[in-house]
Structure 1
Amino acid sequence: MNVLKTALAIGWLGAAGLALAANEKPNILYILADDLGYGDVSCLNPELGKINTPHMDRLAREGMTFTDAHTSSSVCTPTRYSILTGRYNWRTELQAQVLMGFDQPLITPDRLTVAGLLKEQGYRTACIGKWHLGLGLPTIGGEAMDTEGLTNVDWKGAIAGGPVDLGFDYFYGISASLNIPPYVYIENNRVVGDEIVMHKKGRKGPKEKNFDDVQTLPILTRKTIEYIQRQDASTPFFIYCSLTSPHTPLVPTDEWKGKSGIGDYGDFVMHTDAIIGEIVDALDAAGLGENTIVVVTSDNGCSKWCGTAKLLEQGHHFSGIYRGSKGDLWEGGHRVPFLVRWPAKVKAGSMCDQLISLNDLMATCAELTGAPMPATAGEDSVSFLPALSGKAIVSSRAGVVHHSFSGHFAYRMDRWKLLLAKASGGWTSPTEEEAPADALKAQLYDMEADPGETTNLYASHPEVVERLYRQLEADVKRGRSTDGAAQRNDVDEIVLWK
């Protein structure tokens, strides 16, 4: 197991000492950027990056930077499922790709979410921003939805299976990404606005007449700040703030256009950074910053659809030293920024190189609040709470599973990473279809010696390949990767080799 690069002298914090009394439970503000690459944050990529992110850099100075944090998948919907449930997405029917705006909910009503767990512990819970986990949009007369013409959606009816049915007290946001219809705002379980028209640019589909994607990020920011301003120190809160940026469409406001010098993507990242700063400043101004855990991370790496080729030409390496981008099994697809600020407990300017996954929020919140974790919840979640006090994470999970847009698997255990794919497993060239005819069937990398994944050791270390593959196979079959009673996956068969 890796150890912390920075030893933290916080003797009064032990793993047990972080499980707090009810009146001491910290607030949690979880800010999830959309398609923000590891190398897009200037403090993580000072030599190979061209974008200035002073507000995220400030959070790094004031808190802890995790340098080996990973999403469970290298695309949107699967990662969001794992964050909120502590369970890998591929245990569900979603074996590849993402949901669309009119798809049914992926999280089943009987599954405990992070929000549900915290609500049981007395937290106020809010989801503000992009949902992208499916919604039960109502239809006129309750008939099956006309998925082609969308002529029978009841835009005034109650939406089922969304955030307020899954542990959140409050929701304000959009159904999916800014490039996926319907283009409407939803508050709690109702569409906001009166007139629905057809949007005829990009992905065509229904939109609320006044919906303007340029204003979405500012609106979500205002809603988040207003929610913070309604809180007080007597009741802890959990805000899952799921930003729509810097995912396409690249729509920075006029204030940010041209600021980065490398185009719309750089401008949108800088806008995103400023938004994060506004939200944290509002938290501090409300007197709530000291005992609030602020997490800033991303749902996957930078997307090639943002113009990655041009970014590289301009000298901006969006994944830092790592290979690949969104959608891939290579590190650039799933290694993400992960910044944690908690002034009351976490040492400023600290670093952690322990391996964590975004699945781990569930178990961390359970340990933090002393909440019981049912055997049927958080099957793939491990608490990183000890790391916040400079201690080693005690994990019953042997390794971490990575998953690509096209459903290819990879497995990371200690220094080794096994990819069950011939090439990127995603969108970066060479894709699986572009792989040379003589390419090996899989890839093995020593991530300590070769973090850029340049030297495939698959043929020279068959014993390591066998060990990692057998562990991956066991984690899949048991229905969980942590200690506890075996659970059923939602599908009868999960195919490891695509």
Structure 2
Amino acid sequence: MMKRTWRTNLMVFMLPIAIIPMSLSAQKKQQPLSVKKADAPNIIFILTDDLGYGDLGVFFQNQRKQKGDKTLPYQLTPHLDQMAASGAKFSNQYSNAPVCAPSRASFMTGMSQGNASVRDNQFDKQIEDNHTVANMLKTAGYATAAVGKWGLQGETKDEPNWPAHPSKRGFDQFYGYMRHADGHEHYPFEGLYRGKKEVYDNYTNVAAGLSKSYTTDLWTAYAKHWIVAHEQGKQAKQPFFMFLAYDAPHAVLELPTQAYPVGGGLTGGLQWTGKKGAMINTASGEIDSYMHPDYANSTYDDDHNLSTPEKPWPDTFKRYATANRRIDDAIGDIMQLLKDLNIAENTLVIFTSDNGPSIESYLPKGYVPNTPEFFGSYGPFDGIKRDVWEGGLRMPTLVSWPSKIKAGKTISAPSMLSDWMATFAAVANVPAPARLDGVSLLPVLTGKGKQEQGQVYVEYTEGGNTPDFKEFEASRRGRKRNQMQMIRIGDLVGVRYNIKSATDDFEIYDVVKDPKETNNLGGDPAYRGLQEKMKAKVLQSRKVHTDAPRPYDNALIPGLNPEVKLISGISWKFFKGDFPWVASEKGRVVSERGKAKELNTNFVPKQAGMRLYEAWFKAPRDGVYSFSIETNGKAYVRLHEAELLDADFGYSAGQEINTSVKLKAGYHPIKIYVREEPEKAISLTLKQKEDGANWQIMSDKNLYTVK
């Protein structure tokens, strides 16, 4: 192929700006900020595995019950329903991916799948060494713990020194399954159906002492044990963050050993004994034996004929409902513990799932395969796990924070799991890193302040098909998945399946009026403008990742029409504050602002803060453009909504980093975030070149700002 040489008159500018030089090791050892427990809430983020939007009573199962239709079996989730009644439910929150590893990674880093490093089915791939929910909150003064399933540790022959062990990503304590596949078995010691598994207490495998320990019970008992020890120990004045990740109801539909212990909280419910072989108070009796009495003898009208006898539920679905009810009991137990410890009022608790319901269950031979059809686990939508239809992405999200959230609140604003990191930054009163794609949900939670509109974007590839469920629209039954995308703008969702190129049209649905996505508006001439906007937006919201190739990776990123008069130069805003990293401007008050044709090369800041430079970069023609940055401080650069250059976490002073992007001719918004420290001026060099040309120093000749 002939290589084209592009003429260039593009530039770079020198930014001598004050930033604290901070090596990677220094950043990791940074002293926690001063935080008082009275000012910052405890945070518990509870994540289930493959629990569907429709599996909870408050979202869907209660409606089935109220219909009184014996052809519609239903589950009960009384504790979660109570959590919704006393707190808030999100009716339009999405997972960042329809499968667990990328979904969990996006939550942990606050990055969309357009910018994340863990994508598709990259199970056990190490989560990047960058800002995470845990190390951000640890810097804010929080004690941090992860309990349950991890699966983001990275592969290594030197186990248990995984490169992305939770302790290397900000957690003080980890107790749980390290590997993704271990979470497919819920009796680690016995390995009843999937073989014995390892459970780690930080770096020590403790599975040998966990006989008869059902993991939903085990994680709950340990979580309670850790919270009690924290609240009754020397760290009692320190707020805590807990990531509690259940591995149910995914995979093997195993049953507990016995009924949930009576009571709950400090003296009742599940309890941690710490005794080998009887580690928790339900580690006795017969494993895989207890069926919840609400379901043990349940029957239904299987043939839609009232004149014929009803049939018992297949054991598979009794098991599924029991597994979910066990989680429900566990949440009630934990919520009671918070009350018993007098910390419920100022503890923010989030309950959700990582993706839609699954069709997979690993059961003994002879069992009926699991199918989300039986309970309508996908709710009023189409799609399941691995689909980017609403049923694969819409999450059953509940929030409790009694001192801040009004009871019975429904939040309909679209959001994603990746928004929680920015939210936690806001509630902990610590600046959100500039790197985050998510926005704080604190305004919609508390009703105070203006809610910023976030982005809802998903990309994913999977070789299978959407199931051929009779309740699904005929046009998508058995639909080939392959490369998929979903983007939501307002009430309208764009979906693409089996994508061949960036020019493929989106199917467009109004998911508020049409939650099952039955009326495709994509071909309507009235939506042609939105169609093109979606095609452009998905390219502007992502960066190419070699580990997750897409058919649109080589597409040119469209520019934007500024719709205002531009002049050459740069706009800047200064945000006063002693920021521990390059901070986001979202939700912050501007201290100063100005414009310049060139940056002052002799500038030395007098106060600590963050300076945001904003400009329109003009690409004179279609082509490949490279950008580089070098500084002895900290900076971050974003092009459109995509990460361009990250010289913040882990960046070594004086290191030059660069990247290339494919741009259409036109204007492209660029943001340069720089962390400043008084009387410590440093230089920052931002350069650019067209393919085949020499590096040029950027200047006002090719950067434009609003007049």
Cα distance in 2 between the residues matched to 1:33 and 1:58: 18
Q: Does 1:54 align with 2:86?
A: no
Shift in alpha-carbon separation, 1:478–1:137, aligned structure 2, 3 A: closer
Question: Are the structure 2 counterparts of residues 159 and 421 from structure 1 closer, same or farther at C-alpha, using a change threshold of 3 Å?
Answer: closer
Partner of 1:383: 440
1:186 aligns with 2:200: yes
Partner residue, 2:515: 451
Cα distance between partner residues in 2 of 1:89 and 1:183: 30
The amino acid of 2:540's aligned partner reads A
Structure 1 residues 466 and 132: CA distance shift in structure 2, 3 A = same
Aligned to 1:171: 174
What is the Cα deviation at residue 214 of structure 1?
6.2
Do the aligned residues in 1 keep the contact of 2:99 with 2:354 (CA within 8 Å)?
Answer: yes
| Gap change, CA 1:88 and 1:119, over 3 Å in 2 | same
1:369-448 mapped onto 2 (5 Å cutoff): 369-375=428-434, 377-378=435-436, 380-391=437-448, 394-395=451-452, 397=454, 399-404=455-460, 406=462, 407-421=483-497, 442-448=506-512
Cα distance, 1:488 vs structure 2: 3.0
Question: Given that residues 39 and 48 in structure 1 are in contact (C-alpha distance below 8 angstroms), is that contact kept between their aligned partners in structure 2?
Answer: no
Give distance in 2, aligned partners of 1:214 and 1:443: 47
- Distance verdict in 2 for CA 1:131–1:477, change over 3 Å: closer
Deviation per residue, 1:264-310 (Å, 9 max, x gap): 11111111111111222222222211110011011011111147875
Residues 421-443 of structure 1: CA deviation (Å, up to 9, x unaligned): 16xx9xxxxxx9xxxxxxx9642
2: CA distance between counterparts of 1:234 and 1:56? 29
1:93–1:228 distance in 2 versus 1, CA, 3 Å: closer
> 2:201 corresponds to which letter in structure 1?
E
Match of 1:327 in 2: 386
- Give a deviation string over 1:53-111, Cα, whole Å, max 9, x none: 01101100110111111110111001111111100245345442241xxx441x222x0
Matched, 1:356 2:356: no
Match of 1:421, as an amino acid? Y
Contact preservation (8 Å) 2:360, 2:370: no
How far 1:392 moved relative to its partner? 7.0
Write the deviation string for residues 179-213 of structure 1: whole angstroms up to 9, x where unpaired: 288820011133225xxxxxxxxxxxxxxx67668
Task: Note closer, same or farther for the CA distance 1:339–1:95 as it changes in structure 2 (3 Å cut).
Answer: closer
Deviation at 1:394, TM superposition (A): 2.8
Q: Choose the corresponding residue for 2:91, options 48, 67, 73.
A: 67
One-letter amino acid of the structure 2 residue matched with residue 257 of structure 1? M
Q: 1:87-236 residue pairs with structure 2 within 5 A?
A: 87-99=111-123, 103-105=124-126, 107-109=127-129, 111-139=130-158, 157-175=160-178, 176-177=180-181, 178-179=183-184, 183-193=197-207, 215-232=214-231, 233-236=236-239
- State how far apart, in whole Å, the 1-side matches of 2:198 and 2:516 are: 41
Gaps of 5+ in 1: 1-19, 140-153, 194-208, 426-431, 433-439
How far apart are the structure 1 equivalents of 2:106 and 2:660?
20
* Structure 2 counterpart of 1:387, one-letter code: V
Note closer, same or farther for the CA distance 1:476–1:363 as it changes in structure 2 (3 Å cut).
Answer: same
Q: Which residue is equivalent to 1:287?
A: 342
- Paired residues of 1:409 and 1:421 also in contact (CA < 8 A): yes
Pairwise CA distance, 1:446: 1.2
392 and 23 in structure 1: CA distance in 2 versus 1, 3 angstrom threshold:
closer
- Residues 417/368 of structure 1: CA separation in 2 closer, same or farther (3 Å cut): same
Q: 1:25 aligns with which of 25, 35, 40?
A: 40
Instruction: State which structure, 1 or 2, has the greater radius of gyration over its C-alpha atoms.
Output: 2
1:82 aligns with 2:106: yes
Classify 1:258/1:26 alpha carbon distance in 2 versus 1 (closer, same or farther; 3 Å): closer
Q: Is 1:270 aligned with 2:325?
A: yes
Q: In the aligned structure 2, how far is the partner of 1:42 from the partner of 1:276? A: 14
- Give the letter aligned to residue 531 of structure 2: V
Q: Give 1:42 deviation, angstroms.
A: 0.3
Distance 1:120 1:394, change over 3 A: same
**Retained in 1: the 8 A contact 2:358–2:371?**
no
Secondary structure of 2:494's counterpart equals: strand
* 1:482/1:319 CA distance change after superposition, 3 Å: farther
CA-to-aligned-CA distance 1:223-252 (integer Å, 9 cap, x gap) = 100011012251100000001111111112
Which amino acid letter does the alignment assign opposite residue 179 of structure 1?
A: H
2-structure distance, mates of 1:274, 1:187: 24
Displacement of 1:493 = 8.2
Instruction: Give CA-to-partner distance per residue, 1:107-137, whole Å, 9 cap, x none.
Output: 222x011111111111000000100113454
Of the two structures, which has the highest relative contact order with CA contacts closer than 8 Å and spacing of 6 or more?
1
How many pairs align? 418
Q: Report the equivalent of 2:400.
A: 341
Greater strand percent: which structure? 2
* C-alpha distance in structure 2 between counterparts of 1:115 and 1:267, whole Å: 32
| 308 and 417 in structure 1: CA distance in 2 versus 1, 3 angstrom threshold | farther
Q: Relative to 1, partners in 2 of residues 1:493 and 1:240: Cα closer, same or farther, differing over 3 Å?
A: farther
Structure 1 letter corresponding to 2:247: T
Give SS of 1:295's match.
strand
CA distance in 2, matches of 1:189, 1:409: 38
Shift of the 396–47 alpha-carbon distance from structure 1 to 2, 3 Å rule, reads closer
Q: Is the 8 A contact 1:396 1:482 kept in 2?
A: no
Judged with a 3 Å threshold, the aligned counterparts in structure 2 of structure 1 residues 250 and 236 are, in CA distance, closer, same or farther, namely: same
What is the letter of the counterpart of residue 385 of structure 1? Answer: L
- The one-character-per-residue Cα deviations of 1:363-397 (angstroms, maximum 9, x if unpaired) are 1111122212332x32x110000011225753254
Of 241, 247, 252, which aligns to 1:249?
252
Whole-angstrom CA distance in 2 between matches of 1:266 and 1:396: 36
Shift of 1:218: 1.3
